[in-house]
């Protein structure tokens, strides 16, 4: 029996007439892009109130802990995870000390994400999505509509640190998320906690627009309060000749280099926030030049800095950023090693990540002379069973792919990459037994590979 089609009533359970008009405006504007997908907030009236209450809690809460101590909420979280999460429950009783909890990594999540979902998670509402990340492990993650909507609370906290209070409400477009890929998930939605203000996820690639010049005209019509994207897509945004200006830009997913940040600030005449965020944990920290690092945003997220053996390093020493807690009740984290490196120092009881090394933005050049976002490589290869892989482009344009368990997929992977990069692309594929703990998945020696 066929499933009934999903309607806007399913996607937007609390949609009002004003919200319907906003969605229609975003979809049907004469200069609108080709929206490839449909998505919605899936929030009930009770969910909306829950998200609003959480936003108030996040805005009022103190973020931090005294050096050498643990947050008060942490022991209860460990007990709950050992009682409700299959991965931890198999280890027996909860240890008395956090240092005795085994560390986890992206590799653990990628093997079986169901082992990390608590028994109490509302599975009938689970959202599953794929992510690529920095370490070469493709990953399926568990989330919930309430969790997805709660990202905004930490974005707001980041904006407030720089004196920006988001104002978008009914009849206005609040946020435009920009991508720049040959294939990109694009959709329109509304944000119930902000008066059903508009939200659009667009792709700036020319293939997603009906006519040259449409992108600039569409963005002028939307005039969003905020643009968000990665450094690659924001660099493309800066090339468009639209006239309206946002109040802020939010850069996520990849490291934002200082030169690019300065260029964007000059182009748009507004603050450009560098957000350290990941799908496993959401928004973690935002860069603040005044304190010399990234300040934490979540009030129920504890950060350790560990050495290669999983031991905590002294304050001020570099090591791997390791997370415990978070706001995703479908995926509570205990000592999750992120693959990113920094030192942790304190301003009073405010923790600051210093010298954070996250995922660098990388572009690859095709045989057609086009530049590809590295995310497009992930999308091309995600259909294949590759537990871990890296891709490097040399200064001569040649590609080198190293992968664990390449095996029977080798011919198909080669064909997929040649289809993406074009006929005649020099390409070598090698199977490796393992990678080290810290792997940068995408690298390039080509001039122009950094946006």
- Six token digits for residue 143: 């989330």
Evaluate whether residue 35 is within a structural domain. Answer: yes
Structural domain includes residue 1: no
Q: Are residue 101 and residue 246 in the same domain, yes or no?
A: no
- Boundary residue ending a domain (322, 357, 392): 357
Specify if 343 maps to a domain.
yes
Q: In the predicted model, is pLDDT for residue 335 greater than 90?
A: yes
Tens-place pLDDT, residues 220-276: 999 999 999 988 899 899 999 999 999 999 999 777 878 788 889 999 999 999 999
Q: Is residue 158 part of a domain?
A: no
Q: Are strands 127-131 and 139-143 parallel, antiparallel or unpaired?
A: antiparallel
pLDDT at 132 over 60: no
Average pLDDT over residues 159-177: 96
Q: How far is CA 106 from the centre of its chain?
A: 14
Q: pLDDT tens digits for 273-324?
A: 999 999 999 999 999 999 999 999 999 999 999 998 999 999 889 889 999 9
At 134, which CATH number?
3.40.50.12780
Pair 388, 264 in one domain: no
Q: 12 and 34 in one domain?
A: yes
Query: In which band, very low, low, confident or very high, does the pLDDT at 138 lie, cut at 50, 70 and 90?
Result: low
- In this prediction, residue 136 carries a pLDDT of 47
Query: If you average pLDDT over residues 136-141, what whole number do you get?
Result: 68
Query: What is the chain's length?
Result: 451
CATH number of residue 438's parent domain: 3.30.300.30
Residue 390 within a domain? yes
Which of the pair, 135 or 314, is modelled with greater confidence? 314
pLDDT, position 181: 87
Residue 347: how many other CB atoms lie within 10 Å:
12
Higher pLDDT, 229 or 373: 229
Q: Stretch 104-113: mean pLDDT, rounded?
A: 90
Q: Which residue has the higher pLDDT, 161 or 315?
A: 161
Mean pLDDT of the chain: 91
Q: Which of 304, 331, 357 is where one domain is finished? A: 357
For residue 229, the enclosing domain spans 8-59+165-270
The radius of gyration of the chain from alpha carbons, rounded to an integer in Å, stands at: 22
Question: Is 283 in the same domain as 318?
Answer: yes
Q: Any idea what the Cα angle at residue 300 is, between residues 74 and 161, rounded to 5°?
A: 150
Domain assignment of residue 210, yes or no: yes
54 and 66 housed in the same domain: no
**Separation of alpha carbons 402 and 399, rounded Å:** 10
Same domain? 124 vs 258: no
pLDDT, greater one: 405 or 258: 258
Give the separation between CA 139 and CA 157, rounded to whole angstroms.
28
In a domain, 220, yes or no: yes
Q: Which DSSP helix (H) or strand (E) runs through 275?
A: strand 272-278
- 220 and 348 assigned to the same domain: no
pLDDT at 2: 64
Instruction: Give yes or no: residues 188 and 218 share one domain.
Output: yes
Interval 6-51: pLDDT, tens: 888 889 999 999 999 999 999 999 999 999 999 999 999 999 999 9
Least confident span in 201-215, 329-343, 354-368: 354-368
Q: Looking at the structure, tell me whether residues 321 and 370 fall in a common domain.
A: no
Of the residues 315, 341, 357, the one at which a domain ends:
357
| Same-domain status, 140 and 191 | no
* The pLDDT of residue 202 is above 90: yes
pLDDT tier, 134 (very low <50, low <70, confident <90, very high otherwise): very low
91 and 239 share one domain: no
- Does residue 372 lie within any of the structural domains? yes
Determine phi and psi for 45, rounding to 5 degrees.
-60, -40
Specify the pLDDT at position 131.
Answer: 64
- What's the number of domains the chain is made of? 3
CB atoms within 10 A of CB 112: 12
For residue 287, the model assigns a pLDDT of 95
pTM, two decimal places? 0.83
Residues 281 and 343 in one domain: yes
pLDDT value at 439 more than 90: no
């Amino acid at each position: 029996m066929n499933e009934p089609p999903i309607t806007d009533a399913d996607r937007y359970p609390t949609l009002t007439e004003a919200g319907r008009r906003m969605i229609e405006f975003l979809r049907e504007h004469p200069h609108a892009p080709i929206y490839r997908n449909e998505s919605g907030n899936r929030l009930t009236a009770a969910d909306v109130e829950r998200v609003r209450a959480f936003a108030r809690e996040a805005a009022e809460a103190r973020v931090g802990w005294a050096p050498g101590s643990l947050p008060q909420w942490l022991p209860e979280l460990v007990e709950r995870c050992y009682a409700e999460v299959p991965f931890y429950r198999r280890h027996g009783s909860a240890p008395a000390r956090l240092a005795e909890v085994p560390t986890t990594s992206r590799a653990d999540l990628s093997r079986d994400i169901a082992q990390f979902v608590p028994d109490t998670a509302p599975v009938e509402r689970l959202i599953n999505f794929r992510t690529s990340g920095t370490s070469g492990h493709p990953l399926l993650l568990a989330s919930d509509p309430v969790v997805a909507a709660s990202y905004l609370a930490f974005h707001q906290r980041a904006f407030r640190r720089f004196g920006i209070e988001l104002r978008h409400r009914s009849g206005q477009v609040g946020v435009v998320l920009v991508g720049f890929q040959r294939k990109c998930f694009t959709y329109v939605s509304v944000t119930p906690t902000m008066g059903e203000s508009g939200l659009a996820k667009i792709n700036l690639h020319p293939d997603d627009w009906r006519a040259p010049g449409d992108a600039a005209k569409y963005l002028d019509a939307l005039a969003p309060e905020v643009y968000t994207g990665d450094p690659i897509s924001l660099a493309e945004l800066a090339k468009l000749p639209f006239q309206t200006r946002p109040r802020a830009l939010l850069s996520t997913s990849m490291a934002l280099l200082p030169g690019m940040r300065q260029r964007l600030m000059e182009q748009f005449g507004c603050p450009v926030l560098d957000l350290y965020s990941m799908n496993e944990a959401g928004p973690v920290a935002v860069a603040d030049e005044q304190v010399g690092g990234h300040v934490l945003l979540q009030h129920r997220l504890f950060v350790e800095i560990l050495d290669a053996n999983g031991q905590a390093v002294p304050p001020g020493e570099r090591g791997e950023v390791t997370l415990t807690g978070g706001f995703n009740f479908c995926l509570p984290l205990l000592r999750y090693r992120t693959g990113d490196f920094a030192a942790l120092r304190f301003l009073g009881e405010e923790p600051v990540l210093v010298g954070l090394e996250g995922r660098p933005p990388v572009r690859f050049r095709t045989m057609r002379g086009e530049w590809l976002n590295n995310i497009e490589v992930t999308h091309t290869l995600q259909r294949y069973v590759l537990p871990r892989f890296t891709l490097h482009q040399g200064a001569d344009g040649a590609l080198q792919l190293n992968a664990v368990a390449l095996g029977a997929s080798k011919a198909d992977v080669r064909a997929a990459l040649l289809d993406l990069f074009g006929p005649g692309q020099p390409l070598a594929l090698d199977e490796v037994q393992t990678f080290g703990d810290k792997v940068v998945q995408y690298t390039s020696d080509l001039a122009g590979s950094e946006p």
